Amino acid sequence: MAQGSQLYHGHIQLADTDSQRYESLEFSTPQHPSEKPERLILRLLAYTLLYEPGMAFRKGGLSEGNAPDVAVRDIDDRILHWIDVGTPTPDRLQKAARHTPRVSLVTHEHLLQRWKRQHDGQLPDFSGRIVSLDSELVEILAATLPRRFEWQATLSGGVLYLDSKDLSLSSNITTHG
């Protein structure tokens, strides 16, 4: 953990009614001093939306530049599912897709639109999926996230319902690829 990083502790009760999956998740993850709150929120939401056993956040934080933001690894530490957030370069995603069975990107609608503009209106060509959330959800969570938090997250019918101590939010989940 880099000097000046803040450690966040989360407890998430996850109910995915679409796939009949119910989990109680507890974890800690650092926020690097240069990491924007929105990016931290996207990492937390990626963990929530795509959770499967063996999933973990990047060990070295942002300083471990070549690693995925979130990953599922096998017992030999090989990456089975590479998950990035925000707006990684298309080259990064294509490289991950060549070396990893599954690649996902979790972002929000404003970042996705900016990304499309930067790349002539096209989504990057890689064999993975892009999961996009409502920007407002990410912005509200980024402005209000305490260092210790509890979320009740329900995934149902392509919508994320997220409740915490003082908030009740929802977001459409749009998947490309």
Q: Is residue 56 part of a domain?
A: yes
Q: Is residue 1 part of a domain?
A: no
pLDDT at 16: 97
Q: Is residue 158 part of a domain?
A: yes
CATH of the domain at 48: 3.10.640.10
Quote the number of domains for the chain. 1
pLDDT digits 0-9 by tens, 54-113: 999 987 555 556 889 999 999 999 999 999 999 988 888 888 988 899 999 999 999 988
pLDDT band at residue 21 under the 50/70/90 scheme: very high
pLDDT at 122: 62
pLDDT digits 0-9 by tens, 30-53: 998 889 999 999 999 999 999 999
More confident residue, 119 or 105: 105
Q: Report helix, strand or coil for 115.
A: helix
The answer to whether the Cα torsion of 173, 27, 40, 147 is positive or negative is: positive
Alpha-carbon span 99 to 76, nearest angstrom: 15
Task: List the domain range (segments joined by +) for residue 169.
Answer: 6-176
**Residue 91 tokens, joined:** 């080259």
Q: Is residue 67 part of a domain?
A: yes
